Amino acid sequence: MNRLVLILPVLLLILSGCQTTTISDAYTTFKGIPCYFHNARIGAINRNATLGSLANHCRPTHRGYKTKRGQTVTVERGTPVYAVADMTLINALNRSAGKRCKGSVHSQRLYDTSCKEPFDDLELEFKDELGNFVMFYHLMSDNPFVPGFGKGECTIPEMWRQDKWKRYPYNCGGIVKRKVNKGELIGWSGATGMGKGEHFAFAIKVMNHPDFPNEQGWIIPSNALTWENIPSENNEIYLLPLKKQSLSKKDRLNFITN
């Protein structure tokens, strides 16, 4: 029986004008996502004992936490994030995240009152054409899918005023479009989260497949996919996922099941 072939949309960073790092501008493929890619720094996904250094091989500024599902990409606030495949938006929410602004420790005691406003922590949830679940979060409130977020009565209120949160699209004019095409802008990196510095995060969940019951659940994107570096005519650098045959046991996050 042929093994399941995964074609998963993850992220596309277009980093114009960034200084070249150790990664060559020439076309290159990588077995795993590089820890540094044109000023984008890849962080840990979790600190589960069974994964250990494998999940943290990029020496991130924060080790992650046990149930962390997303992988951090450290870039400047406002860096555009693009889709690499056709997807459908299935959910969106926005929230006040001042306690974690610009990488503050997740603690009310250390709430950083000097954070930029609004406290961007937009989350977008997509499904690709194969039914895989793809989530981006810690994005800026300003977003093409829910233009009402961050505006008028839907601005993010001061921290702890949960009674006034306007976090769902139906409170803020609704979702104006759901289909996204490969290469289309889906948002901009924000400035929240537990990792230090401005960043966003993404997560992938391989959905149920009747012939391959073990090939499902949250995965480690940087380890589970092969990546390619594609220089463009506009001097922009693309980092895209490639096909990969099945997943090895070490690439799965089996301890997270929901």
- Banded pLDDT at 130 (limits 50, 70, 90): confident
Question: According to DSSP H, which parts of 73-228 are helical?
Answer: 221-224
**Per-residue confidence (pLDDT) for residue 150, from 0 to 100:** 78
Is the distance from CB of 32 to CB of 58 less than 8 angstroms?
no
Residue 98 in contact with residue 111, Cβ under 8 Å? yes
pLDDT digits (tens, 9 = 90+) for 9-34: 344 444 333 333 333 456 666 665 66
Residue position matching structure tokens 């501008």: 25
Residue 83 burial by CB count (10 A; 0-12/13-18/19+): exposed, middle or buried?
buried
pTM: 0.68
- 95: tokens are 């929230």
Cβ neighbours for 1, distance < 8 A, ≥ 6 positions apart? 211
**Mean pLDDT to the nearest integer, 137-144:** 86
23 sits in the region (left: phi over 0; alpha: psi -120 to 50; else beta) called beta
State which of 196-200, 211-215, 240-244 shows the largest mean pLDDT: 196-200
Residue 88 has pLDDT above 90, yes or no: yes
pLDDT score at 247 = 42
> Three-state DSSP class for 133?
strand
pLDDT surpasses 70 at 46: no
User: What pLDDT score does 72 carry?
Assistant: 76
Most confident of 96-110, 160-174, 239-253: 160-174
